[in-house]
Amino acid sequence: MEYRSSVLVIGGGIGGLSAALKLAQFCDVIVVMKEDRFLSSTYFAQGGIASVFSKEDTFESHIQDTLRAGDGLCHEEVVQSVVEEGPIRVRELIEIGVSFSRNAEEVAYDLGREGGHSQRRILHAEDFTGREIQRALVEAVEKAPRIRIFENHIAVDLITTEKFGLGRGINRGVGAYILNRGTGQIDTFLSHFTVLATGGLGKVYLYTSNPDVATGDGVAMAYRAGADIANMEFIQFHPTCLYHPHAKSFLISEAVRGEGGILRLAHGEAFMERHHPMKELAPRDIVARAIDHEIKRTGNDCVYLDVTHLNPEFIKKRFPNIYEKCLSLGIDMVQEPVPVVPAAHYACGGVVTNLKGETTTPRLFACGEVACTGLHGANRLASNSLLEAIVFAHRIAEEIRGEYDKDIAQEALPDVPPWNPGGARDSDEEVVIAHNWDEIRRTLWNYVGIVRSNKRLMRARHRIDNLMKEIDEYYWNFTVTGDLIELRNLSQVADLIVRSAMQRQESRGLHYNIDYLRKDDRFLRDTLLKKS
């Protein structure tokens, strides 16, 4: 089946839904969601969204905190423009119904503080900010008459004019092939513009805070379509995921440390003071490395986050979601420390965009975690991700509006052949997918994790090369399924991460290589990957 629209948005988190809402003001939009409309990385965001809302805070302070965290690789013009535009976009979220927590007097917003921030500037909805933002956006999108939502659909590949020799001149995006997970049919979605808002790639690692949908689909598809990719070596590991056999991917928010939580070893010793002067409020890369170091040094399985010295009623009110989750697992966080470990959390690299959200492939845009805008540099400042997503979603809508006004709406979409399965047949060896998925994730975790070395990276490169060949052969021989699409994308993303890490022969931000312990100004630049 073939579907046509002015804009195709792939992804249903804060970036995709925000862009769709604004695009629907002047054109028709299709939003494709991998699962249902509430399953996105946005939904699971606990901490909040960073923006200057306090009289004690300034744009310059937020800018400097972001640059400091980014360790020399942030694009300063991007940082300045995002920070200064941020409050306007946050107020737009409030206007559509997002209810951020207020102080005891219900007058001002209750601004939190997280690692790397010099001021309180985190707007939050208790400790389930993402859930509240997702709720409001979904309700708004459902009321928008020009938006069609396709749930349980996963993109297979982007369609470009070059792919089928369509048109002349510059290669441009014209939509995507999309798998209907219910019917197993691959349909053609054609559009004048395509927006990638597919989120992250945390599932490429064995341990991650990300939901199961975070398999790097957007980055992999964009790379295959010829778009530039950058800074894939900078994978942020959140320092504090709950360590419990029945707590899959549950995050203990950075805000817990922002409110005074202390990291301790099993015998009670606080250890962050010997790693950084800001102690628990140091940037995430430093805290994650410190925990990793202490776990390896002591041989323990985890460290502990202690809030037992804080007011119990404050903890229960400020972190109701975390408190109840811990309690359900037999951990009363107001009475005992919470066991935590680092886990893959956020990709600071991705599909290269300019200040308008345009990728290097014309009419293909990207926003949110899938994009590399230049805001985060070598390490993302806490709670800057939701901010980046709404700012670039707005800019993409404005840029498309400008292009749309140039009579592109009247331009005929090309005739694209339907998906051709060739001689593919149903697989009788699904175990191959599960085995390769597990091997990719273990390889990345063991060799391209928080601490790396040249030897580990070479081992990873060799293993990922072999896996990619095996997966590629499997992909073209058997019927495409959702699991196979994700496996193919994970292998591509793993390859990009390893290649990027091998290129950066220094330690900077989230990339820490024990063979190059110092920063080297020769690498004071983005790591760019172009499809050969």
Query: How many Å apart are CA 384 and CA 86, to the nearest integer?
Result: 10
Give the per-residue pLDDT at 267: 94
At 38, the pLDDT band (50, 70, 90 cuts) reads confident
Q: Assign 3-class secondary structure to 218-251.
A: HHHHHHHCCCCEECCCCEEEEEEEECCCCCCCCE
Task: Kindly report the average pLDDT of the chain as a whole number.
Answer: 93
At 7, the pLDDT band (50, 70, 90 cuts) reads very high
Instruction: Please state the φ and ψ torsions of residue 516, each to the nearest 5 degrees.
Output: -140, 80
Distance from the first to the final alpha carbon of the chain = 32
pLDDT digits (tens, 9 = 90+) for 422-477: 777 777 677 888 899 999 999 999 999 999 999 999 999 999 999 999 999 989 88
Domains and CATH numbers, the chain: 2-233+348-409 (3.50.50.60), 242-344 (3.90.700.10), 431-517 (1.20.58.100)
Could you give the C-alpha distances from 298 to 214, 263, 266, 267, 304, in angstroms and in order? 32, 15, 9, 11, 13
pLDDT digits (tens, 9 = 90+) for 277-321: 999 988 888 899 999 999 989 989 899 999 999 999 999 998 998
Give the per-residue pLDDT at 489: 97
pLDDT exceeds 90 at position 405: no
Give the per-residue pLDDT at 168: 63
pLDDT digits (tens, 9 = 90+) for 166-225: 666 678 899 999 999 999 999 999 999 999 999 999 999 988 989 899 999 999 999 999
Could you give the C-alpha distances from 379 to 14, 202, 232, 345, 349, in angstroms and in order? 21, 15, 11, 12, 10
Give the per-residue pLDDT at 167: 61
pLDDT digits (tens, 9 = 90+) for 255-265: 899 899 999 99
Q: What is the mean pLDDT of residues 66-86?
A: 97
% of the chain surpassing 70 pLDDT: 98
Give the up-direction half-sphere exposure of residue 225: CA atoms within 13 A in the CB hemisphere: 34
At 409, the pLDDT band (50, 70, 90 cuts) reads low
Helix axes 431-447, 454-477, angle to 10 degrees: 160
Catalytic pick from 121, 131, 284, 380? Answer: 284
pLDDT digits (tens, 9 = 90+) for 118-147: 999 999 998 889 999 999 999 999 999 999
pLDDT digits (tens, 9 = 90+) for 343-366: 999 999 999 999 999 999 999 999
Q: What is the mean pLDDT of residues 223-240?
A: 95
Q: What is the mean pLDDT of residues 472-491?
A: 92
Long-range contacts of 441-445, Cβ-Cβ distance < 8 Å, separation of 24 or more: 441/203, 441/204, 441/205, 441/206, 441/490, 442/206, 443/467, 443/494, 444/204, 444/205, 444/206, 444/494, 444/497, 444/498, 445/205, 445/206, 445/207, 445/344
Give the up-direction half-sphere exposure of residue 98: CA atoms within 13 A in the CB hemisphere: 27
Give the per-residue pLDDT at 169: 66
pLDDT exceeds 90 at position 531: no
φ/ψ region of 374 (left if φ > 0, alpha if ψ in -120 to 50, else beta) reads: left
126: tokens are 């208790």
Query: How many Å apart are CA 223 and CA 262, to the nearest integer?
Result: 42
> Is 442 known to be catalytic?
no
321: tokens are 């979601």
267: tokens are 């015998």
Mapping DSSP to helix (H, G, I), strand (E, B) and coil, where does residue 114 land? Answer: coil
At 407, the pLDDT band (50, 70, 90 cuts) reads low
Sequence-distant (≥ 6) Cβ neighbours of residue 144 within 8 angstroms = 20, 21, 24
Could you give the C-alpha distances from 128 to 52, 155, 210, 519, in angstroms and in order? 20, 28, 15, 37
pLDDT-wise least confident of 93-102, 167-176, 233-242, 354-363: 167-176
DSSP strand pairing (350-352 vs 262-264): unpaired
